[in-house]
Structure 1
Amino acid sequence: MEFTNKTVVITGGAGGIGFALAALLSAKGAKVAIADLDAEAVQTAAAHIGCLGIPCDVTDESRVQSLVTSVSEKLGEIDIYVSNAGVFHGQPDHAASATDDVWMRNWSVHVMAHVYAARALLPQMLKRGSGYFINVTSAAGLLNQIGDAAYSATKQAAVSFAESLAITHGDAGIGVSVVCPQYVATPLIGLQDADAQTQPGLLTAEQVAESILKGVEAGQFRILPHPEVARFAEMRAQNHDGWIEGMQRLRAKSLAKLGAERVAELYRIL
C-alpha cells in the first residue's frame, strides 16, 4: 500500500504509538487526522505534526461517527482508519477483582471502539471497494497480560473482531491488519523512549510505528513488532497446559521481584 495522499485517521493519536504513526505517515505524504480523548493534548500534538486534530471519546458511537464525518469533510474520504486508543489499569487482587467500571472501560475502548469505526466506515468502503482498518491490540491478544484479566480478555476479543473483518470483507477490497506489540515505552505504561535504551524487551513507539507501516505495505494481517511473540503463540497453541505452567512461573517471578501491587509491570524485569 502507498500512503501518499491517503486520508488516515488515528485514534489515541496525542501520544505513544498513535503520535509516532501520525508523524511517520505525515512524512510519507498522507493526509492525517489524529483523535484523542484529551482535547488539549490532541491539539498540541496536531500542531507539532502539522495535521488535523479532533477531540473524540471512542467509547461513544455518536462521537466516532462525528469524527468520521468531520475528517471526510475536511480531508476527503477516509482510506485508512487506525483504531489505536487503549487503557491499562491492572487489577487490585485476584483475576476478577477489577471493578465493573474497569471491565466495561476496557471493553468499550478495546472492542467497541473498533466496532463503532467499522460501522461508520464499512458502508462507504464497501461501496467504493477499498479501505483499510489497522486495529492496534497487544501481544496479550494472542497470549495474556499477567496481572490484568480485563486487558487480556478484551485484547483477545479485539483480535477476534479483526479476524472477522478480514474474513468477511477481505474479498471486497477491505484490508485489515491487527497489531500485537508486547512491551512498548509509552505513557500508557509510564515509560519513555529512554527506558527502551536500557531494557532490551522494550521498543520505542517509533520503532513500533515503523513496524506497522512495513506490515501494512506488505499486506500482513498480523503485525508483530516483537517477532518472538509468534514463537510464544505457537507454544501456546501446541501445548496449552505447558504454556499455562510457564506463565504461572513467570507470574511467580514477577510477584517475587515487584510485589502483588505491581505484578502487571512484568516488562520491568524482562
Structure 2
Amino acid sequence: MAKIAVITGGTAGIGLACAEAFLADGDTVVISGRSAERGSKALAGLDAGARARYIPCDVTDPAQVRELIEETVTEYRRIDVLVNNAGGVIDQGRPLSELDEDNLDRAFTLNVNSAFWACRAALRHMLPRGYGRIINMASIAGKIGIPGLIGYSTTKHALIGFTKTLAKETTTRGVTVNAVCPGITDTELVEREAKAPIEAAGFDFGQLAARLTGDLGRIIDPAEVAAIVRTLASPQCAAISGTTINIDGGYTQF
C-alpha cells in the first residue's frame, strides 16, 4: 500500500531528495518549509500532481508543527511516515566563550524541540493504528565534535538520544524510530550554514570535509541519504528501531 509521508524541511536538499524517493515508490508526500516560494518551486520540480503537497511550517513554532500533522491527517486520513529533516546551524563559527546566552536554546528549538513536537503530534495518529515510521535526520556531528559547531553538534547528540529513548516507548506498539547520520552532504545548507562557521572558527573546511568522508573521498549526495530513509520507512523494517545509520564513507564506525 502506498504510504503517506510528511517531510519537514522538504523543499530542498536532503528533504527534497527524500520526497523524490518516496514518490518513485508511488507514495504521497507532504513537504513543509518556511518559504512558500521555495515550496512552489519544489512542487513544480517534483511534478507529482495530487501526490505531492506543500504545507508552510516554521518548525520552531509548536502550533505550526501540530497544524502540519493535523492538516495532513485531515486530507489523507492518516500519516504513515514522518521524516524530521528540518534543522540548521546557529553557532556561526564562534567558540562557546563568544556565543550569545540564548544560542543553545535556539539550537535546541530548531534541531531537537521541533522533532519532539512533530513526533508527539504524529504519534497521536500512529499509535492507535499500531503502525508508523519515524526517521530523524541527525548527523555525524551527533557522534563526534566538530569545531565551530558546538550548538549544532550538541543538539544532534541530543536528537540521537531522543531517537533511542522514543524507540523504547513505541516499537512494541508498531512504530519504529530511527536516526540517519549523514556526513558532509552536497546541499545548500552545508554551504551556507556549515562551511562559513567552520572557516570562521579558523579551520579549513576542505581539509575537514576530506577527513569526514572517510574512504569515500567525496562529499555525500542527498540521494544517498534519501535511499536509506526510504528503506527505514518501509513496512519490511519493523525490526529496525532505535538505531543510527551513518552515511559518511566509513569515517564514523559507531
Q: TM-score range by the shorter chain?
A: 0.7 to 0.9
Out of 224, 230, 247, which is 1:225 matched to? Answer: 247
1:39 lines up with 2:36 in the alignment: yes
Q: Is the 8 A contact 2:160 2:244 kept in 1?
A: no
Out of 23, 26, 39, which is 1:26 matched to? Answer: 23
Q: Could you tell me how far 1:211 is from its partner in structure 2?
A: 2.8
Q: Is the 8 A contact 2:180 2:229 kept in 1?
A: yes
Q: Distance in 2 between matches of 1:124 and 1:173?
A: 12
Q: Distance in 2 between matches of 1:190 and 1:141?
A: 19
Q: Is the 8 A contact 2:138 2:156 kept in 1?
A: yes
Q: Distance in 1 between matches of 2:112 and 2:97?
A: 19
Query: Can you list the C-alpha shifts for 1:54-102, whole angstroms capped at 9, x where unaligned?
Result: 1100111110111111111222300000000011244444224222343
1:203 lines up with 2:200 in the alignment: no
> Partner of 1:183: helix, strand, or coil?
coil
- Equivalences for residues 167-178 of structure 1 within 5 A: 167-178=168-179
Cα distance change of structure 1 residues 78 and 95 upon mapping to structure 2, 3 Å threshold: same
> Partner of 1:87: helix, strand, or coil?
coil
> Partner of 1:180: helix, strand, or coil?
strand
Cα distance change of structure 1 residues 10 and 93 upon mapping to structure 2, 3 Å threshold: closer
> Partner of 1:20: helix, strand, or coil?
helix
- Equivalences for residues 96-115 of structure 1 within 5 A: 96-115=97-116
Q: Could you tell me how far 1:125 is from its partner in structure 2?
A: 1.4
Q: Could you tell me how far 1:189 is from its partner in structure 2?
A: 1.5
Q: Distance in 2 between matches of 1:29 and 1:98?
A: 45
Which one has a bigger Cα radius of gyration?
1
Q: Could you tell me how far 1:206 is from its partner in structure 2?
A: 1.2
Identical counterparts, % of pairs: 32
Partner of 1:69: 70
Query: Can you list the C-alpha shifts for 1:164-188, whole angstroms capped at 9, x where unaligned?
Result: 1111111111111101111101000
Q: Which amino acid aligns with 2:34?
A: L
Q: Which amino acid aligns with 2:248?
A: H
Q: Distance in 2 between matches of 1:145 and 1:67?
A: 32
Higher relative contact order (CA 8 A, sep 6+): 2
Q: Which amino acid aligns with 1:207?
A: E
Question: TM-score if structure 2 supplies the norm length?
Answer: 0.81
Q: Distance in 2 between matches of 1:91 and 1:77?
A: 39
Q: Is the 8 A contact 2:135 2:232 kept in 1?
A: no
Q: Distance in 2 between matches of 1:201 and 1:100?
A: 36
Out of 212, 236, 241, which is 2:229 matched to? Answer: 212
Q: Which amino acid aligns with 1:131?
A: G
Q: Distance in 2 between matches of 1:80 and 1:178?
A: 13
Q: Distance in 1 between matches of 2:45 and 2:102?
A: 34
CA RMSD of aligned residues (A): 2.1
Report the more deviating stretch, 90-99 or 130-139. 90-99
Q: Could you tell me how far 1:216 is from its partner in structure 2?
A: 4.3
Q: Distance in 2 between matches of 1:175 and 1:227?
A: 25
Question: TM-score if structure 1 supplies the norm length?
Answer: 0.77
> Runs (4+) of structure 1 moved beyond 6 Å?
none
> Partner of 1:8: helix, strand, or coil?
strand
Q: Could you tell me how far 1:6 is from its partner in structure 2?
A: 0.6
Report the more deviating stretch, 101-110 or 129-138. 101-110
1:16 lines up with 2:10 in the alignment: no
Structure 1 spans left out of the alignment, 5+ residues: 234-270
